């Protein structure tokens, strides 16, 4: 028997060090295994440090569940149910349905729960505790939000980093001081906007002067180590300039509560009505006056709102020189071009503009070639899979007959049927992967086809390369 022990600490365990908490859980579970004379071959350990229990999308638990489905784990032991998860519905589904089906024993030591013991009261108590844990997690989240909001109302707004042009004050971690190395760049951006320069022109000027981008500057200071998506030197773009011009933090204002997490355990945010924001005037030294700030907003008034059709090639079309996505241009006909050359000549990008219809023809031709080569092989494989599915169907019927005749136990029947179901699902999936139903007889190109088969389309001035997914 292979045993899995799962260890987790969450953000609520801030009164403990990570090593102490994990170490204590580990020692506790090993003592439990030893004192109960478990017979086992291996003990596998799965850990999540500082992760919330509100959902099962955690690295440690994901690896554990994957090994369970592979048949690698026969028994899971945890200190208490809250370590596994605090989402009542999701956790209960695994404990009461999925684990029993896969013949995996589940033990929550502190909750006195062992799935090997068929005890109704044990199940009832477990479900009741599960509901309590779920409620507890939401209650903690609500209290944390309330505490943060109360702090914000006194001007103590939490922050992990300062906006470009500022540094976190050495005397008050909730305040900003002006960064003497970058504040003049911020001022120049606002001044250029007031002079009538558009976002692209401002970005181009900054690049021509070799001004470090905000991310490059943070990397230079050692505050971040992310290299971004670019292949070489980073450069200013209109979006970076826009974010600075739109941010009223540069007038000395500090705003809290613009967004909040949609629900406990989610990574998605929702916008909060402006009337509920907490705004502090003169929170920190201003880099620009309010007059300069509001005059600079005129640069946005000339931008017309356009209704754009779906970008068929979004995230797929790449410039062969800089590696960035090509920009879609909506005129009388849809075209694509590289936008990088507007900001910098760093990569040697070329001036080209290619119509969407041309890309469609190129990709369709490449897809046809790809499928025609595999077509005969796929049909052969499909026939072979059909035969295997027929055999599995007969095996299921034979297995069920043996169960009805009481030639095998219920547990063995469930186990063998599950194995056949898994094999059947794999064959059906394999058949679908080989199916060319995404392309009809006229080979119509859709977003679905591109996402399934095409990795990238690399565009140079004189040629195009289509890279297919393996």
Q: What does pTM read for this prediction?
A: 0.49
Q: How confident is the model at residue 129 (pLDDT cuts 50, 70, 90)?
A: low
| Dihedral, CA of residue 163, residue 167, residue 170 and residue 171, to nearest 10 | -50
The residue behind tokens 């006194």 is: 154
Tens-digit pLDDT profile for residues 304-333: 545 456 678 888 888 888 888 888 887 667
Start and end residues for every CATH 3.90.1750 domain found in the chain: 166-300
pLDDT for the residue 305: 46
pLDDT of residue 371: 66
Q: Is the dihedral of CA 388, 392, 395, 401 positive or negative?
A: negative
Instruction: Answer whether residue 337 shows pLDDT above 90.
Output: no
Higher-confidence residue of 396 and 29: namely 29
Average pLDDT of the chain? 77
The pLDDT assigned to 59 comes to: 85
Q: How far apart are CA 338 and CA 354, in angstroms?
A: 10
Closest C-alpha to 336, from 346, 347, 328, 345: 328
Among residues of the chain, what percentage have pLDDT more than 90?
A: 16
pLDDT reported for residue 185 = 95
| Mean pLDDT value of segment 362-373 | 74
241 closest CA partner among 199, 192, 182: 199
Predicted local distance difference test score (pLDDT) of residue 61: 86
| CATH class of domain segment(s) 166-300 | alpha beta
* Residue 372: pLDDT band with limits 50, 70, 90: low
Listed in order, the ranges of the chain carrying CATH 3.40.50.1390 are 2-142
Task: Please give the CATH topology (third level) of the domain spanning 2-142.
Answer: Rossmann fold (3.40.50)
Confidence of residue 60 (pLDDT cuts 50, 70, 90): confident
Phi, psi of 322 (to 5 degrees): -100, -20
């Amino acid at each position: 028997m292979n045993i899995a022990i799962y260890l987790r600490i969450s953000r609520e365990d801030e009164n403990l060090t990570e090593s102490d908490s994990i170490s204590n859980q580990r020692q506790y579970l090993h003592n439990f295994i030893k004192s109960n004379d478990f017979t086992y071959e291996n003990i596998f350990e799965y850990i999540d440090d500082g992760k919330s229990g509100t959902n099962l999308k955690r690295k440690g638990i994901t690896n554990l569940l994957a090994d369970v489905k592979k048949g690698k784990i026969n028994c899971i032991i945890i200190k208490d149910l809250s370590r596994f998860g605090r989402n009542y519905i999701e956790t209960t589904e695994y404990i009461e349905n999925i684990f029993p089906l896969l013949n995996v024993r589940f033990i929550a030591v502190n909750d006195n729960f062992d799935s090997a013991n068929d005890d109704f009261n044990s199940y009832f108590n477990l479900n009741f505790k599960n509901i309590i844990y779920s409620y507890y997690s939401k209650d903690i989240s609500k209290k944390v939000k309330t505490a943060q909001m109360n702090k914000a109302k006194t001007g103590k707004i939490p922050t992990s980093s300062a906006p470009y042009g500022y540094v976190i004050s050495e005397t008050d971690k909730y305040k900003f001081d002006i960064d003497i190395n970058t504040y003049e760049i911020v001022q120049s951006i606002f001044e250029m906007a007031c002079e009538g320069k558009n976002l692209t022109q401002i970005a181009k000027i900054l690049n021509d002067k070799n001004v470090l981008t905000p991310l490059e500057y943070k990397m230079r200071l050692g505050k971040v180590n992310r290299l971004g998506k670019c292949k070489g030197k980073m450069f200013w773009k209109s979006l970076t300039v826009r974010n600075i011009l739109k941010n009223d933090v540069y007038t000395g204002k500090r705003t809290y509560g613009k967004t909040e997490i949609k629900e406990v355990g989610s990574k998605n945010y929702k916008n909060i009505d402006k009337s509920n924001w907490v705004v502090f005037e003169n929170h920190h030294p201003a880099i620009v006056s309010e007059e300069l700030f509001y005059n600079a907003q005129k640069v946005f008034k000339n931008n017309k709102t356009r209704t754009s059709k779906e970008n068929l090639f979004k995230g797929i079309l790449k410039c062969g020189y800089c590696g960035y996505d090509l920009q879609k241009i909506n005129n009388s006909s849809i075209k694509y071009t590289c936008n990088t050359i507007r900001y910098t000549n760093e990569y040697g990008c070329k001036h080209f503009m290619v119509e969407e219809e041309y890309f469609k023809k190129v990709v369709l031709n490449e897809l046809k070639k790809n499928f025609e080569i595999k077509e005969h092989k796929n049909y052969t494989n499909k026939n072979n899979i059909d035969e295997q599915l027929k055999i599995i169907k007969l095996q299921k019927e034979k297995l069920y007959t043996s169960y009805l005749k009481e030639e095998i136990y219920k547990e063995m029947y469930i186990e063998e049927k599950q194995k056949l179901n898994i094999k059947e699902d794999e064959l059906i999936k394999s058949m679908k992967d080989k199916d060319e139903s995404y392309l009809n007889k006229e080979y119509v190109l859709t977003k679905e086809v591109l996402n399934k088969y095409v990795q990238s389309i690399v565009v140079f001035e004189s040629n195009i390369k289509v890279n297919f997914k393996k």
